[in-house]
Amino acid sequence: MIRQGLLGQLISDLCALPGVGPKSAQRMAFYLLQRDRGGAIRLAETLLSASKKIAYCEQCRTLTEDKLCRLCADKSRDSSMVCVVESPADVWAVEQAATFKGVYFVLHGHLSPLDGIGPEEIGLNLLENRLAAGDVGEIILATNSTVEGEATAHLIAEMAKKYQVKATRIAHGVPMGGELEYIDSGTLSHAFNGRRQV
Amino acid sequence: MIETVVSLQPAFILHHRNFRESSLIAEILTRDFGRFTVIAKGVRTPKSKLGPFIRPFVPVLLSIAGKSELKTLTHIEPWQSAPKLHDLALYSGFYINELVTYFLHPFDPHPEVFLLYQNALSELSNTLELEPVLRVFELNLLTQVGYGLQFDVDNLQHPVSPGKKYCFNAESGPVESEQGDFAGSTFLALEARSFPDRTTLTEAKKIMRSAINFHLNGKPLKSREVISKILKHSHS
């Protein structure tokens, strides 16, 4: 069937979502229009205001509708500990682990020389200003364990050294409940290099 | 194009980018089939067995299949231990990846370039003097892809004399000139692939840069630009 008119438009717009192809988009569209008009209107309004109002937090670059995000504005958190992550989704992941009580800095990517993504593109100027201001005591590098993630972590560690700020890298190794037999050799050698006394 | 099936081919991943929800598109350098692009489907999921091996600078064995120009990755496993690249050596690795991507045409077999690449990575991981490794790699890469330069004779076929001054022209090589920026000894060092001191290295870098820029026809090397910004951030 050729998709025409408003309905066709709706279906192809829904395809913009990750993991949604034409078939699921069609189901969504029909569901919203036949069963839940109220939900559809709410969704449309929320989408509109979210995409207009949500921007980057001035301090940590995570997504927020306020000037400062909830985490940066929270006085009970230790603002001298900064955890550097690649994406806002990583902030949520670390928050769910509930062990970290500091603040974050979101890079929105990683260094990628072949794509022309350098320090400025991932907001390191802003991070450098924060380091220079002198209120950061420790910087925790929680970038992904990819070559680019490591390169990014390394550069930030160098910057931290310049301002005499302690930089630490999160540990990589055997996952919880993991059996050694099934772990890839790269992770295993990382785990051995990072072993510690018990 | 006919169906190609390649199994357990020594290769390196040069670059990769995410594609759709869970796939990757990777630029690879194989030993016997040259450089080309593969799609690795479903490797960005937690359960993927192949995902962890798709990273640059790791020597791997990979199997591919496919009829179109974009081949599908069917298997990948570690081959040899990966050279440990840190700091500047790592950034230099990105640079040589970009050079290889630009100078090799897709599906043009260059086993020698594969060997050069492999050696360059292992040397980068074992030395603090990165520049000679990069210069030798650039020189040999240009030679292998047919852009070789002769540095021991000038444009008039006179032997280059170490004491004289020369200019450099990417097409004709050294040109003798009183106002030249480069010493004859630098060209002889490039020819011999051995660099005795810092001045020679600095001059050699400028010469190779202009030779490479000439062959790139104005295409900028992104990694070069990014690396200079990185250096500004980390050492200023």
Q: A42-56: per-residue pLDDT in tens?
A: 999 999 999 999 999
In a domain, A61, yes or no: no
Of B17, B57, B225, the CB nearest to A147: B57
A186–B90 C-beta distance less than 8 A: no
Does the structure show a pLDDT above 80 at A3?
A: no
State whether A101 and A143 are in the same domain. Answer: yes
Q: Using a CB-CB distance cutoff of 8 angstroms, which residues of chain B are in contact with residue A176?
A: none
Chain B's closest residue to A150, CA to CA, is B86
What is the distance of C-alpha B112 from the center of its chain?
A: 12
What is the model's pLDDT at position A1?
57
The correct CATH number of B87-235 out of 1.20.1440.120, 1.10.390.10, 3.10.20.740, 3.40.50.300 is 1.20.1440.120
By Cβ distance, the residue of A19, A150, A155 closest to B230 is A155
Which of B15, B55, B86 is opposite residue A154, by nearest beta carbon?
B86
Residues of chain B with CATH 2.40.50.140: 4-78
Shortest CA distance from B88: residue in chain A: A151
Domain co-membership, A146 together with A97: yes
Record the tokens describing residue A130, joined without a space: 């924060």
| Residue ranges of chain B assigned to CATH 1.20.1440.120 | 87-235
Q: Which fold has domain B4-78?
A: OB fold (Dihydrolipoamide Acetyltransferase, E2P) (2.40.50)
Q: Which residues of B touch A119 (CB under 8 A)?
A: 229-230, 232-233
The pLDDT tens digits for A108-126 are 999 998 888 989 899 999 9
Per the CB < 8 Å rule, is B78 touching A118?
A: no
Average pLDDT, chain A: 91
pLDDT band, very low/low/confident/very high, at B22 (cuts 50, 70, 90) = confident
Query: In this complex, do A114 and B223 lie within 8 Å of one another by their Cβ atoms?
Result: yes
- Residue A39 within any structural domain of the chain: yes
For chain A, list residues whose CB is within 8 angstroms of any CB belonging to chain B: 18-19, 111-120, 124, 128, 146-147, 150-151, 154-155, 158-159, 162, 184-187
Least Cα separation, residue A121 to chain B (angstroms): 10
Domain contains A146: yes
Please give the average per-residue pLDDT across B223-227, as a whole number. 87
Confidence band, pLDDT 50/70/90 cuts, at residue B21:
confident
| Closest-CA residue to B114 (of B141, B138, B149) | B141
Domain of residue A12, CATH code: 1.10.8.420
Per-residue pLDDT at B234 exceeds 80: no
If asked whether residues A89 and A161 sit together in one domain, one would say yes
**B74/B83 Cα distance (integer angstroms):** 24
ipTM of the complex: 0.80
Angle between helical axes of A22-34 and A5-14 (0-180°, round to 10): 120
A89 & A149 share domain: yes
Q: Which among B58, B97, B234 has the least Cβ separation from residue A155?
A: B234
Contact between A184 and B95 using a beta-carbon 8 Å cutoff: no
- Calculate mean pLDDT across residues A149-155: 91
Nearest by Cα to A156 from A107, A114, A94, A102: A107
Question: Is residue A108, in this structure, part of any structural domain at all?
Answer: yes
Residue B236: per-residue pLDDT: 56
Residues of B within 8 A of A19 (CB-CB) are 21
Report pLDDT for B1: 61
Claim to verify: residue A40 and residue A87 sit in the same structural domain: no
A118 with B225: Cβ contact below 8 A: yes
Number of domains in chain A: 2
Nearest residue on chain A to B225, judged by CA atoms?
A116
Q: Do A159 and B230 make contact, defined as CB atoms within 8 angstroms?
A: no
**The domain that contains A98 carries what CATH number?**
3.40.1360.10
Range of the domain at A115: 76-169
pLDDT confidence band for B202 (50 / 70 / 90): very high
Q: How many residues does chain A have?
A: 198
Question: What are the distances in angstroms from CA B182 to CA A6, A52, B84, B85, B155?
Answer: 68, 57, 35, 32, 15
Contact B229 A118 (CB under 8 A): yes
